[in-house]
Amino acid sequence: MRREILAIAAVLAGSLFLTLCRCQGADAKKPITVGFSQIGAESAWRTAETESIRSEAAKRAVNLKVSDAQQKQENQIKAIGAFIAQRVDAIILAPKVEDGWGPILKQAKAAKIPVILVDRGVNVSDESLYATLIASDFVAEGRMAGEWLAKRLSARGDVVEIQGTTGAAPAFDRKRGFEEALRKYPDMKIIKSQSGDFNRAGGKQVMEAFLKAAQGSNAKIDAVYAHNDDMALGAIQAIEEAGLKPGSDIVVVSIDGVKGAFEAMVAGKLNCSVECNPLLGPAAFDAVETILSGRPLPKKTIVKDRLFDQSTAKDVIATRQY
Ligand code: AHR
């Protein structure tokens, strides 16, 4: 009888062991699924960010679902709703604007799906609605651009500003940082400011209007500050078409540090670009893995950026990754 009991116990222990192994094996092999809601492809920077997220997901064998919102916040909200319905393990969100995210982030939280914000922040009253934010310090970028320009213009000059997308964190913050820097130089003024929506066509169109207005009133534009490189490249085109020399007749300063900006600096048409690193894939998936393993995450990780101008562009252009 005792022998029979021992035999039954051994069989039960063995099958329990096999079941556990099978479960662990299946879990170890099961890839995680992550939904990525991207704004669109308005700039070279944005394309580089998407590529960084895609390639990092492939490297880590993550099942990635990418949704391109075609510049519409409502599409991003729909995409997040779909990710929740599909029960993804985590969501990476690059939010177009700061406001309007509360209700959908509440749904993600209720479904216990962590949301990792990349590149831009959101305005929510409850910070627990997202797990973490990985982004550059946009105010510092604007300040760096302003300080550089003040030095270049010897603290005197009329500046036109081409802003990013209305309502977006980098548009608010880059404007704020730049204005903060200029406050120290009373002879430097922003004479006009308008949104070019972070794309090249927008930058060109706004600059054409600024040039036309300046011509009409016999004013001189000393410099243009564009919130990103794509708009600066559009502005450069408008300046050339107006028969002026970008880089010398009008000083051009922008933000991002994309390849096209380096080429324009080497060609003498763009004067300065403050880097904003879009290669956020590795940090984003580190954050996903950390949160899914139950470890704590900092609420914010600031990406370090540098400033490049014509004096350094030639030396580093070959090493640029985006
Ligand atoms: O949020 C980052 C900004 O968005 C980049 O400067 C710009 O190029 C992009 O579209």
Q: How far is the CA of 198 from the centre of ligand 1 (A)?
A: 7
Virtual CA dihedral for 139, 239, 207, 250, nearest 10 degrees? 40
Phi, psi (5° rounding) for residue 91?
-125, 135
- Please, are residues 313 and 307 in contact by the beta-carbon 8 Å criterion? no
Q: What percent of the chain is predicted at pLDDT more than 90?
A: 91
- Assign 15 a pLDDT band (cuts: 50, 70, 90): very low
Rounded mean pLDDT of the chain? 93
pLDDT > 80? residue 284: yes
To test the pocket of ligand 1, the residue of 76, 198, 254, 259 to mutate (highest count of ligand atoms within 8 Å of its CB) is 198
pLDDT > 70? residue 320: yes
To test the pocket of ligand 1, the residue of 276, 305, 322 to mutate (highest count of ligand atoms within 8 Å of its CB) is 276
- Assign 30 a pLDDT band (cuts: 50, 70, 90): confident
Cβ-proximal residues to 279 (8 Å cutoff; 6+ apart), any chain: 48, 49, 52, 321, 322
d(CA 292, CA 72): 29
Give the pLDDT confidence of 152-189 residue by residue, as tens digits. Answer: 999 999 999 999 999 999 999 999 999 999 999 999 99
Q: How far is the CA of 164 from the centre of ligand 1 (A)?
A: 8
Give the pLDDT confidence of 195-213 residue by residue, as tens digits. Answer: 999 999 999 999 999 999 9
Give the pLDDT confidence of 46-93 residue by residue, as tens digits. Answer: 999 999 999 999 999 999 999 999 999 999 999 999 999 999 999 999
Give all strands (DSSP E) within the chain, no chain letters. Answer: 33-38, 63-68, 90-93, 115-118, 132-136, 157-163, 188-195, 223-226, 251-256, 272-275, 300-303, 307-309
pLDDT of res. 4: 53
Residues in the ligand 1 pocket, defined by CB under 6 Å: 42-43, 45-46, 119-120, 170, 198, 228, 230, 255-256, 276
d(CA 75, CA 307): 34
Tokens representing 235 are 């502005």
pLDDT of res. 28: 56
Position 136: which residue type?
Answer: S
- Please, are residues 221 and 190 in contact by the beta-carbon 8 Å criterion? no
Please classify residue 66 by burial: count the beta carbons closer than 10 Å to its beta carbon, then call 0-12 exposed, 13-18 middle and 19+ buried: middle
pLDDT > 90? residue 1: no
pLDDT of res. 170: 98
Give the pLDDT confidence of 100-143 residue by residue, as tens digits. Answer: 999 999 999 999 999 999 999 999 999 999 999 999 999 999 99
- Please, are residues 61 and 55 in contact by the beta-carbon 8 Å criterion? no
Q: Counting atoms of ligand 1 from 1, which one is nearest the CA of 168?
A: 1
Span 217-226, mean pLDDT? 96
- Assign 11 a pLDDT band (cuts: 50, 70, 90): very low
